[in-house]
């Protein structure tokens, strides 16, 4: 039978991925060493099995090679996470997403050949930090080591001014790629678009430029 995804490790992170994928109608094979965890997912995932993912024979028996995308959400046991990733890679899994516990773990996962390494605690910490700096910063998404996208409430500093008045691109080197205005989304807004206080701007740019933009136009005096 063709399954869409496998999730290995059903802790808070892996469990949440498994629930959401299943809720979206995907066929998920849920795997954990722990019997209680697996029982919890019997009615949620299409298949839930007790297995040790560091055992290559077990992985083969589960038919993991027929699954295109495997998510490794083993956090605490870094050795098990790395070994599992390595074996999945050797078995030829097309896409492997792995949760990293720390920067060192992340580095090794990249070397082993994980396709996508996620670091939820660190990334969420960054997002919340930006929100703490200003209530007007609604979200922050890291695109690379030095580029990001921020979602900001226009607020009183930008209200009533057009993009050309604010000269965001020339002054700050950032681009406003979209404006959310109530239910509408204005994609690639014209330079003459006048900003309203409750607008939400989606801004893309280098971190250092975004940081100046936040300081000067987003954070209220
Ligand atoms: P989270 O931070 O996502 O809440 P957690 O702290 O609940 O995670 P972890 O110790 O990070 O739990 O591990 C996640 C799950 O991975 C656990 O339920 C654990 O039983 C499972 N797990 C650990 N090693 C293996 C393994 N070799 N094979 C299968 N599952 C494993």
Q: What is the pLDDT of residues 46-57, one digit of tens each?
A: 999 999 999 999
Q: What per-residue confidence (pLDDT) applies to 128?
A: 87
Q: Which residue has the tokens 């014209």?
A: 190
Q: What mean pLDDT, rounded, does the chain reach?
A: 92
117 vs 129 pLDDT, higher one = 117
> In this predicted model, what pLDDT tens digit does every residue of 94-123 receive, in sequence order?
999 999 999 999 999 999 999 999 999 888
Q: What per-residue confidence (pLDDT) applies to 221?
A: 62
Q: Is 12 in the pocket of ligand 1 (CB under 6 A)?
A: yes
Is residue 42 pLDDT above 60, yes or no? Answer: yes
User: Distance, CA 194 to ligand 1 centroid (Å)?
Assistant: 50
Is residue 152 pLDDT above 80, yes or no? Answer: yes
Q: Is 36 in the pocket of ligand 1 (CB under 6 A)?
A: no
In ligand 1, the atom with minimum distance to the C-alpha of 37 is: 18
pTM over 0.85: no
């Amino acid at each position: 039978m063709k399954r869409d995804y496998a999730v290995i490790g059903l802790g808070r992170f892996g469990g949440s991925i498994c629930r959401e994928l299943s809720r979206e109608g995907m066929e998920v094979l849920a795997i954990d060493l722990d019997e209680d965890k697996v029982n919890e997912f019997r009615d949620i995932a299409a298949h839930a099995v007790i297995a040790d993912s560091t055992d290559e024979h077990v992985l083969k028996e589960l038919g993991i090679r027929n699954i295109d995308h495997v998510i490794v959400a083993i956090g605490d046991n870094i050795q098990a996470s790395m070994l599992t990733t390595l074996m999945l890679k050797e078995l030829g899994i097309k896409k492997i997403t792995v949760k990293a516990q720390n920067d060192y773990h992340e580095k090794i996962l990249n070397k082993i050949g994980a396709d996508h390494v996620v670091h939820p605690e660190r990334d969420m910490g960054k997002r919340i930090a930006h929100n703490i700096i200003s209530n007007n910063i609604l979200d922050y998404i890291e695109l690379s080591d030095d580029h990001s996208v921020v979602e900001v409430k226009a607020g009183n500093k930008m209200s009533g001014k057009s993009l050309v008045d604010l000269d965001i691109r020339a002054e700050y080197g950032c681009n406003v790629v979209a404006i959310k205005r109530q239910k509408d989304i204005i994609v690639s807004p014209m330079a003459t678009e006048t900003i309203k206080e409750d607008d939400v701007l989606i801004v893309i740019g280098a971190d250092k430029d975004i940081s100046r933009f936040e300081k000067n136009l987003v954070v209220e005096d």
